[in-house]
Amino acid sequence: MFRFLSLVLSTTLLAACASAPTRAPAPGAMPPLRLAPAELGRELVLRQRLDFHHGERRESIEALVEVDAASVRLVMHAQGQVALRVDWNGTTLDQTRAEWLPPVLSGERVLDDLQLVYWPVAAINARLPAGWHLAEASSNRRLLQDGEIVATVVYVSATHVRLRQRRQGYVLDIHSVPVAP
């Protein structure tokens, strides 16, 4: 099961470039955001079920996300095992991965997806390189590169968000439950 999970996660959560946010991303990749935790503008504590869809493959994993002005902390676990732990303070990204995860599983990619979904559009647009733009309308967001849709975020309900990374070929359904800090 761990082998299957690591294969699914490796194909759905591609490694992001660890360079400066203004550098052009690798072909097909979303540019790294690396927004400061304080740019979220609020505290956030969520328990989540993440449902990954990549082609015919589907897998679920649990996560706990905590954001305050000082840091973003995220723990992903599957079947009682911690898969990935991420701590981002706005300058340094620390991550701890389970030995059974493939090297391509990236805390950077997870952080970028998290920020694309939750951080303010203005903060994201200020960080995107030339040719990239995040547009928002009612209950959705579209990340575009030179007019081509790269990713979409649909706020299905107050507890359900769907992120579609078109170029990378995966869909992530995020089901969240707020947790009291």
How does pLDDT run along the chain (181 residues), one tens digit per residue?
444 344 334 333 433 333 333 344 455 678 999 999 999 999 999 999 999 888 888 888 899 999 999 999 999 998 888 999 999 999 999 999 888 775 656 788 889 999 999 999 999 999 999 999 999 999 999 999 999 999 999 999 999 999 999 988 889 999 999 998 6
- What per-residue confidence (pLDDT) applies to 26? 54
For 102, the 3-state DSSP assignment is coil
User: Can you tell me the distance from the alpha carbon of 97 to that of 86, in angstroms, rounded to the nearest whole number?
Assistant: 9
- What per-residue confidence (pLDDT) applies to 169? 86
Question: Please, what are the domains in the chain?
Answer: 2-14+24-173 (2.50.20)
Using the Cα atoms of residue 28, residue 34, residue 40 and residue 45 in order, give the sign of their dihedral: positive
- The amino acid present at 135, given as its one-letter code, is A
Strands 72-78 and 81-88 turn out to be antiparallel
Closest by CA to 154, choosing from 166, 180, 15, 110, is 166
Q: Which residues contact 59 (CB under 8 A, 6 or more apart)?
A: 4, 5, 8, 9, 51, 52
User: Can you tell me the distance from the alpha carbon of 88 to that of 104, in angstroms, rounded to the nearest whole number?
Assistant: 19
- Give the position of tokens 């550098």: 23
- DSSP β-bridge partners for residue 159: none
- What per-residue confidence (pLDDT) applies to 105? 60
Q: Which residues contact 174 (CB under 8 A, 6 or more apart)?
A: 48, 49, 50, 117, 160, 161, 162, 163
Q: Which residues contact 161 (CB under 8 A, 6 or more apart)?
A: 117, 153, 154, 155, 173, 174, 176
Q: Which residue intervals of 46-161 are DSSP H helices?
A: 107-118, 121-127
- DSSP β-bridge partners for residue 54: 57
